[in-house]
Amino acid sequence: MPYNYTIRPEDAFGSDSPCNLDTCPVDWSIYSYRPSLAANIVFVVLFSLIGLVHAYLGFRWKSWGFMTGMLLGCLSEIVGYVGRIMMWYNPFSFNAFMIQIVCLTIAPVFYTASIYVTLSKTINFFGPELSRFKPALFYWIFIPFDIVCLILQAAGGAMSTESDSNVGVDVSMAGLVLQVVVLVVFIAAFSDYMIRYWRSGHAKAFGWREAAFFAGLSTAIILVLTRCIYRVAELREGYDGDLIKHEIPFIILEGIVIVLAAVALCFGHPGLVFNKPQVTTSVSQVEKGVASGSESNN
């Protein structure tokens, strides 16, 4: 193919890039490959279906907060993979790059927000006396950190518009590292509570709903953490690193892992245990307790 050799490789990335598949070799693109059209279409379809399932469950069980976080996450994933589909047509498209880097980076933050809120409700419902901390603290500690992670990751992606993208990479990296740290602390707190709950003997009364709920919630947390560790490793060397140039790890550790996490949260859905007919009244009292506890702390 007769490429335009008056274009320099360093000019291939940026908002004013003159490159397309007719004028520049794909090796000059930011990822050095054309994103898989088939894989990205599959991810768009999967996250659309998962979003519909969470919308159905949210309306059925009136879990508005959990549903909002999950739908925002699924929507971000869909838009992000549409951006990668656009990059299949033109791997040099800076707008497509920006769409996918921002949306795919921040999407799991919405899932973790839903998880944090759910754990607070879970502790209140199953046994607040077994927690080392007041359940309301899970709102006031983890959610603000989640927002900071969201801001840093979104800002880092947006700052990639600069000709020198290193600053943007560093900001995104800070957001991802913070998210890993917060998730590890959260897992430690969650595990500590579950161990104390198990030792108390209350877990013997678990039915299939409770077992599925905790299994789904735990699986989702581990999967999101795995993905975040991968993204930290991917960005460790910036956009010129080796790992970022390979699509298979991205498809597995970003795409498939987050699909599985979102599916797991269909089972780790608060409505599965909080909306059983025999506990609906109790949950209402628990939520009132959270509110009154927050007011007394103030």
Mean pLDDT of 4-8: 71
d(CA 151, CA 175): 8
Report CA Rg, the chain.
21
**More reliable by pLDDT, 255 or 9:** 255
Q: What pLDDT sits at residue 158?
A: 81
Mean pLDDT across the chain, nearest whole number?
A: 87
Residue 281 has pLDDT above 60, yes or no: no
**Residue 289, pLDDT above cutoff 60:** no
CA-based angle 238:239:241, to the nearest 5? 70
Report pLDDT for 285. Answer: 46
Per-residue confidence (pLDDT) for residue 288, from 0 to 100: 45
User: Best-predicted range by mean pLDDT among 27-36, 111-120, 253-262?
Assistant: 253-262
Residue type for 73, please? G
Cα–Cα distance, 91 to 144 (Å, whole number):
36
pLDDT at 47: 99
**pLDDT band for position 5 (50/70/90)?**
low
Q: At what angle do helices 166-200 and 208-235 cross, to 10 degrees?
A: 150
pLDDT of residue 292: 47
Residue 151: what pLDDT? 95
Distance CA 241, CA 221 (A): 27
pLDDT at 298: 43
More confident residue, 27 or 292: 27
pLDDT-based confidence at 286, cuts 50/70/90? very low
pLDDT-based confidence at 197, cuts 50/70/90? Answer: confident
pLDDT, residue 296, reads 46
Question: Does pLDDT of 238 surpass 50?
Answer: yes
pLDDT for res 37? 98
CA atoms within 13 A on the CB side of 226: 18
Supply the pTM of this predicted model.
0.88
Q: How far apart are CA 242 and CA 92, in angstroms?
A: 18
Model pLDDT, residue 293: 45
Q: Which two tokens stand for residue 105?
A: 């980076």
Measured between alpha carbons, how far is 267 from 214 in angstroms, rounded to an integer? 8
Per-residue pLDDT at 276: 62
pLDDT in tens, 107-156: 999 999 999 999 888 888 888 888 888 888 877 899 999 999 999 999 98
**pLDDT at residue 277 in the model:** 56
Question: Residue 185 pLDDT more than 80?
Answer: yes
- Residue 26 banded pLDDT, cuts 50, 70, 90: very high
Residues of the chain with pLDDT > 70, as a percent, come to 89
Range list of H helices, 62-202? 64-89, 94-126, 136-158, 166-200
Burial class (CB in 10 A: 0-12, 13-18, 19+), 159: middle
